[in-house]
Amino acid sequence: MSHALRQELIDTARAMNASGLNQGTSGNLSVRCDEGMLITPTGMDYAGLTPDDIVWMDLEGGTKGPRKPSSEWRFHAAIYQHRPEAKSILHAHPVSCTALACMGKGIPAFHYMVAVAGGKDIRCSDYATFGTAELSAHVLTALEGRKACLMGHHGLTCFDSDLPRALALAIEVEHLATVYSRILAMGEADVLSDREMAVVLEKFSSYGVQDKKNP
């Protein structure tokens, strides 16, 4: 299995912590690989990881390698099983996202960039104990039609087509959560209408797509 992909997973985990999205050994990342996934190991400091520490798993929980996978592997597997467009998954406990999640609040369309997560808002899932099938079901529900969600009393989960995009999405959602938290300190947000967000989502469908030029 790809040594380079394992190293990219480690590099992204370190970048996640360096960005302030996460701290210590909490959080986890995975990438789809060979009818299964590569996922960060449980309870290990990202700074000391080597490619051999990354765990390969099938989507039913079978593993290869000397390390135990992240305790959150179940919702990673569930996302890969139900969302074929998901190629990489990031889970972290960023401060602003977690604060909102501990209030049971998602992020409404107070700003058009909320559409970056794929819908008119970013939902907050119901709470369940970490690592359980119940939590996986709640996460899947919150992610319906979305690429990111908050997790009740827990943190943030998002996915994208590769690891750099998943990290960029997580950073953007945390920024949105920070701004929304400041708005809540002042009062209620002025939320964009579903019609306005539909226009934004349509524009986002081609955002950043460059036409190929003839040689």
**AA identity, residue 135:** L
Active site residue 134: no
Question: Which candidate in 8, 35, 72, 134 is catalytic?
Answer: 72
**Tokens encoding 58:** 């099938």
DSSP lists the bridge partners of residue 171 as: none
What is the C-alpha radius of gyration for the chain, rounded to an integer number of angstroms? 17
Name residue, tokens 């990031």: 90
The H or E element spanning position 31 is strand 28-33
Cβ atoms 143, 152 nearer than 8 A: no
Q: How far apart are CA 55 and CA 24, in angstroms?
A: 19
Main-chain dihedrals φ then ψ at residue 30, nearest 5 degrees = -150, 165
**AA identity, residue 86:** A
| Catalytic residue set | 72
